[in-house]
């Protein structure tokens, strides 16, 4: 394909110039225009036919959320990345935008940073998201599903008793979690630990929103919190969240060790920790997201005797994380988003029966239920 055509919509002249110069420095991009408010931005979409739009959240005349709603009515498939400040107000507006159909978001560089720091921030966060959404760095297409995949090692014939569910997700994750967690019943018998790639402030607001819509409490994770059944915890921004044994139970712990897969929080540290703490009693779930985070952790879960299921390509915003787990042969099954909550619940409840449940399927193949 040719260069990705980008329209920048932002009320700040400085930000428009910074985005235009930084994005144009990538040979795969062409910034075809810019606009200072949403109304002008909508008009330029019709004129310029961009492949992707970066859209400021707070603007005069027509703000980002209002613009997005109108944009989605006219251009339902056009990728839109919200560009917001790292504040409570910016986080709230961004989550509203994601619910209204934004494809992803990026946070604006701090005003106190140097221009070079701002440029590097855009290169590190925004450019990969544009490429992922526009298919520039997409996971190679696989043959039509279902298709048997090799596994890392022979699977046990007996399904283990599941003691925890660990979920990892990134691009498209807030909306995916908003479908999965509200589908978990209030008497769910095990805890749920979630890593969603998000910065500070955003993760707390995401947890609060999910909790208000779910039958189980959803909270931002904190160090020392004991894991109890029927609760879910979201890893806080800028911290890895892991699980540690504490007496007869387990608790959460946080650290700021080096980012993994360019992420903090990252999925791999959580997955490795639950495999170490619970052995084969883990159900790992990898949902929509760009990059490879979760692949190594999924291998650790399965080598410990646990299970891993992934979201399918058709229902994912970006089939990077789940796609790479699948390609690596580390997925026991693959499901569309609208089946994940039911499948998580079924697997956990069946595994909690007193006698082990014998597998009726070969673990050397991947299930793909009919939609």
Amino acid 361: pLDDT: 34
Amino acid 307: pLDDT: 96
Catalytic, 51? Answer no
Same domain membership, residue 125 and residue 64: yes
Catalytic-labelled residue, pool 104, 197, 214, 268: 197
H/E run at residue 166: strand 164-169
Total count of domains within the chain: 2
Same domain membership, residue 190 and residue 114: no
**How many of the other CB atoms lie within 10 Å of CB of 13?**
10
Catalytic, 24? Answer no
Amino acid 1: pLDDT: 59
Phi first, then psi: what are they for 257, rounded to 5°?
-65, 170
Q: Residue 51: which CATH number?
A: 3.40.50.2300
Amino acid 169: pLDDT: 98
Amino acid 175: pLDDT: 96
Same domain membership, residue 176 and residue 249: yes
Please confirm whether the linkage preceding 355 is cis (ω < 30° from 0): no
Q: Is residue 291 part of a domain?
A: yes
Tokens at 142, concatenated: 């696989």
Same domain membership, residue 241 and residue 202: yes
Same domain membership, residue 36 and residue 166: no
Catalytic-labelled residue, pool 84, 121, 170, 351: 170
How far is Cα 1 from Cα 218, in angstroms, rounded to an integer? 42
Amino acid 111: pLDDT: 62
Amino acid 176: pLDDT: 97
Catalytic-labelled residue, pool 10, 268, 293, 332: 293
Whole-angstrom Cα Rg for the chain: 21
SS (H, E, C) 141-163: CCCCCCCCCCCCCCCCCEECCCC
How far is Cα 66 from Cα 187, in angstroms, rounded to an integer? 39
Q: Final residue of a domain: which of 98, 133, 168?
A: 133
Range of the domain at 54: 4-133
Amino acid 362: pLDDT: 32
Same domain membership, residue 97 and residue 164: no
Tell me 183's DSSP state: G
Amino acid 138: pLDDT: 45
Catalytic, 293? Answer yes
Partner residues linked to 310 by β-bridges: 286, 334
Give the pTM: 0.89
How high is the mean pLDDT in each 10-residue block of the chain (371 residues)?
Answer: 91 92 95 96 96 94 94 96 87 94 89 76 92 74 42 54 97 97 97 97 96 98 98 98 95 98 96 97 97 96 96 95 95 97 96 57 41 38
């Amino acid at each position: 394909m040719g260069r990705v055509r980008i329209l920048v919509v932002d009320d700040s002249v400085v930000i428009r110039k910074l985005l235009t110069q930084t994005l144009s420095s990538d040979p795969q991009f062409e910034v075809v225009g810019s606009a200072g408010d949403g109304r002008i931005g909508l008009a330029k979409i019709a004129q310029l036919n961009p492949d992707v739009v970066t859209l400021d959240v707070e603007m005069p005349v027509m703000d980002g959320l209002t613009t997005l709603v109108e944009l989605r009515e006219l251009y339902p498939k056009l990728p839109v990345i919200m560009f917001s400040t790292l504040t409570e107000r910016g986080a709230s507006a961004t989550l509203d935008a994601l619910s209204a159909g934004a494809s992803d978001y990026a946070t604006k560089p701090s005003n106190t940073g140097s221009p070079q720091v701002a440029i590097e921030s855009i290169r590190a966060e925004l450019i990969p998201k544009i490429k992922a959404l526009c298919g520039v760095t997409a996971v190679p297409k696989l043959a039509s599903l279902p298709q048997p995949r090799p596994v890392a090692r022979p699977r046990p014939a007996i399904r283990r008793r599941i003691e925890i569910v660990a979920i990892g997700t990134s691009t498209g994750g807030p909306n995916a979690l908003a479908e999965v967690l509200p589908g978990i019943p209030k008497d769910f018998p095990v805890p749920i630990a979630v890593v969603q790639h998000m910065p500070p402030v955003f993760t707390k607001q995401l947890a609060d929103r999910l909790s208000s819509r779910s039958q189980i409490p959803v909270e931002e994770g904190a160090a020392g919190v004991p894991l109890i059944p029927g609760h879910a915890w979201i890893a806080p921004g800028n911290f890895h969240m892991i699980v540690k044994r504490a007496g007869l139970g387990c608790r959460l712990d946080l650290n700021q060790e080096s980012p993994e897969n360019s992420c903090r929080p990252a999925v791999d540290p959580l997955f490795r920790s639950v495999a170490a703490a619970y052995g084969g009693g883990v159900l790992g779930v990898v949902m929509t997201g760009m990059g490879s985070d979760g692949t190594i952790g999924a291998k650790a879960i399965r080598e410990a005797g646990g299970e891993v299921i992934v979201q399918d390509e058709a229902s994912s915003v970006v089939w990077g994380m789940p796609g790479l787990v699948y390609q690596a042969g580390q997925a026991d099954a693959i499901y569309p988003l609208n089946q994940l909550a039911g499948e998580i619940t079924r697997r956990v409840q069946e595994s909690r029966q007193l006698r082990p449940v014998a597998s009726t399927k070969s673990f050397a193949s991947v299930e793909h239920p009919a939609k």
